[in-house]
């Protein structure tokens, strides 16, 4: 049996929280309380984008580094829950500050992806540095693409290729999008999540925040798990909530065998 494709189901927990504005310690405590009951019932916990501060250009001045409190906190939560924990925070690395999506695993495993597409509409590009590589992690037999918010609008960067990174297989099985996506653009959020799932023949999980941030922007959540047909497996409304959904490995593989559309896709190389 080929162990490079998922052989077991994956339990994924959406954490659709109301992030406090510019309050890293308060947010760590708040999110720790939300996810504490997940021990033993999940494999992967997904927090929103910039979950320690909200989406703020001014948070640059308080950015931690990889040896800081928040990275240690994520590793601690992964050990406590015996599950991977992911979400993005502002982190300083060298001369730049990145909107960095961390992927912490039990036992100290840590990977990260730096947001590639910066939201110039809100001047994110003036304060943050852009990432220069796509990141796919492997967890419990699943290959998982890490993406942050605005990346959702750029399908080439998330395109699932066939027979490129993995001989005879797609690049990934699940795409994660963590976000601070305002409710005024919620239709685009919901539509694009479904589009990314359909075109990439992959599960997609999108996790957004709720509430009103320090800039007065309202967030309606709309976090969701979307299957490879573009159908919602679970959807969240406009409230703080934690939802755990099981992704079916056998159903994904059966659909890919029954409808092998990725094999007919155009071959190309990704460049930053």
Catalytic (active-site) positions? 49, 115, 149
How far is it, in rounded angstroms, from Cα 138 to Cα 207? Answer: 19
How far is it, in rounded angstroms, from Cα 228 to Cα 244? Answer: 18
Give the DSSP letter of residue 135.
-
| Residue (of 13, 65, 34, 7) closest to 250 by Cα position | 7
How far is it, in rounded angstroms, from Cα 206 to Cα 194? Answer: 10
Q: 3-class DSSP state for residue 60?
A: helix
DSSP assignment of 24-54, as one string? Answer: HHHHHHHHHHHHGGGTTT-SEEE--TTTTT-
How far is it, in rounded angstroms, from Cα 11 to Cα 25? Answer: 28
Residue carrying the six token digits 């984008």 = 49
Beta-carbon neighbour count of residue 64 at 10 Å?
A: 17
Q: 3-class DSSP state for residue 7?
A: coil
Structure tokens at 88: 């993005």
| Cβ atoms of 129 and 170 closer than 8 Å | no
How far is it, in rounded angstroms, from Cα 88 to Cα 147? Answer: 10
């Amino acid at each position: 049996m080929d162990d490079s494709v998922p052989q077991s189901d994956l339990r994924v927990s959406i954490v659709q929280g109301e992030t406090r504005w510019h309050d890293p310690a308060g947010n760590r405590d708040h999110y720790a309380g939300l996810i504490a009951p997940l021990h033993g019932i999940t494999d992967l916990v997904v927090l929103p984008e910039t979950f320690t501060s909200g989406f703020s250009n001014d948070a640059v001045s308080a950015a931690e580094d990889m040896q800081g409190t928040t990275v240690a906190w994520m590793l601690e939560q992964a050990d406590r829950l015996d599950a991977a924990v992911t979400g993005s925070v502002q982190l300083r690395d060298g001369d730049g500050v990145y909107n960095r999506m961390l992927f912490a695993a039990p036992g100290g495993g840590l990977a990260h992806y730096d947001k590639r597409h910066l939201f110039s509409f809100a001047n994110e590009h003036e304060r943050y540095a852009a990432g220069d590589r796509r990141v796919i992690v492997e967890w419990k037999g699943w290959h998982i693409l890490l993406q942050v918010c605005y990346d959702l609008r750029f399908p080439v960067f998330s395109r699932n290729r066939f027979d490129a990174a993995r001989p005879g297989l797609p690049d990934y099985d699940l795409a994660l999008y963590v976000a601070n996506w305002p409710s005024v653009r919620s239709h685009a959020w919901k539509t694009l999540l479904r589009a990314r799932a359909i075109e990439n023949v992959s599960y997609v999980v999108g996790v957004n925040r709720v509430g009103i941030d320090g800039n007065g922007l309202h967030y309606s959540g709309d976090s969701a798990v979307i299957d490879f047909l573009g159908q919602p497996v679970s959807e969240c409304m406009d409230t703080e909530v934690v939802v755990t959904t099981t992704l079916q490995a056998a159903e994904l593989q059966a659909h890919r065998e029954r409808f092998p559309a990725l094999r007919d896709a155009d071959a190309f190389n990704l460049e930053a």
